[in-house]
Amino acid sequence: MNYTTPNIIQSKNILNILDENYPLYSSNAKIYLNTIANNNKVFLVKNKKEKYILRESNRSKSREHLNLEVKFLTYLHEKKFQLTPYIIPNSNDNLITVHHKKYYILENFLPGTVKKSVNNLTDFNEKKLTNLFSALAKFSKAAQNFTNPIAKNNQTVSYYAKNGSKLLSALIKKIKNKAINNLLKKNDAFIINFAKETTRQLRAIKYDSLQKQIVHFDLHPGNVNYVGDKLSGIFDFDWVRFDNRLADLACTLGQSCYHYHGKNRAMYDKTKIALGLKAYRKAYGKSEYNLHKENQIIKTALRGYMFFQLLWIIEWHTKNPGNKKGYEYIKFSLDVLKLNDFKGLLN
């Protein structure tokens, strides 16, 4: 399990929040802290034989985006989509609880456990892989009719490529680690040219004019639960936004089909990509695009998404400069862009 006992202060604070806002779930509750969550603190609440998840977000998180997450998860629950959590109202019948400048959301517990992560895909077997892509297809189908005003700062994969030079320059200025700074400056021309070529390809297929729907934008092996080889839950909706549905497919291909270690490190496995695509297409059914057009969109969106991933991992390092894995993660993300022939990945 990915949970540990929190310190006494944390435990008392969470129990107080439960007492004040979720009294039905606080009696004899035991609290555990998730050890792998990145963007939020995630607590497991054990109440008798039942389990719940309490998510904590800082007030720096956009309330508009949090409302979008809540509205979307409520929509999926109403549609009886069972692979995502539903949100439990507090005693005032609100889905979001504000306590000491932080937001809290109580969710049902999704069965199973996380089996792998983006940094460890060893033995991520064929059944787990195909079930991941089948679940993504079902998720996309369930989400396609969700409506909400699109925020002005809604950022699709094309946003990051179009603004690549500016975004990269701003991040490099924040980096104090000499080795990472030198790595990025050494590869600065390649990264900017990659972004420019990605922008050219996105414009060629008129990406910004393609149909948009809400997407997860971070569906990878570390954000799903399994019971055995069966996918039992999808979580972490911090990055939901509106983009083309194939951006989600590109995201999942991009983060579940490469080699993280060994002689083929940072290279994509075409066999896994083919398996993932086959499972997705079988579960999704008839596409709105012909096969050639769909493949064009996927390949180009994959370039855009993995460029976004490089920017994100650099930003993550600026917020976690003491983490010794920073150089490894950034170098790997950069090598994914440098070593792969994105045009030929779906051949």
Q: DSSP string spanning 174-236?
A: T---HHHHHHHHHTHHHHHHHHHHHHHHHHHTTGGGS--EEE-S--SGGGEEEETTEEEEE--
Structural class in CATH, domain 3-108: alpha beta
In angstroms, the CA 174 to CA 158 distance is 24
pLDDT digits (tens, 9 = 90+) for 309-327: 999 999 999 999 999 999 9
**Which run of H or E residues covers position 270?**
helix 270-284
Q: Taking the domains of the chain in order of start, what are their residue ranges?
A: 3-108, 126-344
Q: What pLDDT, on a 0 to 100 scale, did the predictor assign at position 96?
A: 97
pTM above 0.75, yes or no: yes
Low-confidence spans in the chain with pLDDT less than 70: 1, 37-39
pLDDT digits (tens, 9 = 90+) for 47-66: 888 999 999 987 778 899 99
CATH superfamily of 126-344: Aminoglycoside phosphotransferase (APH), C-terminal lobe (3.90.1200.10)
In one-letter notation, the amino acid at residue 314 is: I
Q: What pLDDT, on a 0 to 100 scale, did the predictor assign at position 165?
A: 96
